[in-house]
């Protein structure tokens, strides 16, 4: 009964009556994060983190694994769409000054953004093609700009004096782990959001102009989910190399 009451409390969360489609982006990000984690786990079942066989394992996924081409293109294009929606979500927060309403929600959101960027960079390296090798070398070399111990820091990240097998191992490990941390931070983001409630275009904090989250905004979020999935599938099936 207690769990049912908690669920009812979540569904009856007072939400501003005038929030527009710009407030759908957060739930869409949650959907896409779940999609990325699921496709990533399935891809990792066939991926080989060995610098001599990694690229061949990617080709194996694309050509030999049933539906492997779909999983890989969905994972790659889903990441691009994830960041597009995230930038729109952040832009809405900046435009409507949501950071003034709840500082903790905003700070957790910034942390999610930084971790997502790190995850994307690590994933870019994993196919271990020519551009992956270049990206790993150039981006990690930025740490050499740190005074005094920058070069030591770069060697520590690489696990040697150049990008090598140890680099690929740690990049794969952190690319696998970070999305789960992003998911945990997303739950914290929601907790802080529910602490003070959502902002709205007018900046009105009065509780008199609010309605229950369910069924109004659950159905509104469902419409966003369907449209986003249709857009992703359109890209995956017809323009897989668009991004």
pLDDT in tens, 192-240: 988 888 888 887 777 778 888 888 888 999 999 999 999 999 999 999 9
Question: Of 11-15, 103-107, 214-218, which one has max mean pLDDT?
Answer: 103-107
Of 5-9, 53-57, 119-123, which gets the smallest average pLDDT?
5-9
DSSP conformation letters of 61-123: HHHTSTTHHHHHHHHHHHHHHHHHHHHHHHHHHHHTTGGGT-HHHHHHHHHHHHHHHHHHHHH
pLDDT value of position 194 = 85
What residue ranges do the domains of the chain occupy? Answer: 29-62+72-198
Segment 144-188, tens digit of pLDDT: 999 999 999 999 999 999 899 999 999 999 999 999 999 999 999
Radius of gyration of the chain (CA): 21
pTM: 0.91
Q: What is the pLDDT of residues 40-76, one digit of tens each?
A: 999 999 999 998 999 999 999 999 999 999 999 999 9
Q: Among the listed ranges 100-104, 112-116, 130-134, which one has the minimum average pLDDT value?
A: 130-134
Q: How far is CA 231 from the centre of its chain?
A: 17
Q: Which class in CATH covers the domain with range 29-62+72-198? A: mainly alpha
């Amino acid at each position: 009964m207690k769990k049912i009451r908690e669920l009812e409390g979540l569904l009856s969360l007072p939400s501003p009556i005038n929030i527009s489609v710009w407030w759908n982006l957060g739930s869409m990000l949650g959907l896409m994060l779940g999609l990325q984690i699921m496709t990533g786990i399935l891809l990792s079942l066939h991926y080989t983190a060995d610098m001599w066989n990694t690229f061949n394992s990617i080709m194996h996924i694309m050509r030999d694994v049933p539906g492997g081409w779909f999983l890989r293109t969905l994972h790659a294009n889903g990441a691009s769409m994830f960041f597009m929606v995230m930038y729109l979500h952040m832009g809405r927060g900046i435009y409507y000054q949501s950071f003034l309403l709840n500082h903790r929600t905003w700070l957790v959101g910034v942390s999610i953004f930084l971790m997502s960027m790190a995850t994307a960079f690590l994933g870019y390296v994993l196919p271990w093609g020519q551009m992956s090798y270049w990206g790993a070398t150039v981006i990690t070399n930025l740490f050499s700009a740190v005074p005094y111990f920058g070069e030591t820091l770069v060697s520590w990240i690489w696990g040697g004096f150049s990008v090598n097998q140890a680099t690929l191992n740690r990049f794969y490990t952190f690319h696998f782990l970070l999305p789960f941390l992003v998911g945990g931070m997303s739950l914290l983001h929601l907790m802080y959001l529910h602490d003070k409630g959502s902002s709205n275009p007018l900046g009105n904090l009065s509780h008199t102009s609010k309605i229950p989250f369910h069924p109004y905004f659950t159905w509104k979020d469902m419409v966003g989910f369907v449209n986003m999935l249709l857009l992703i599938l359109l890209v995956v099936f017809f323009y897989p190399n668009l991004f």
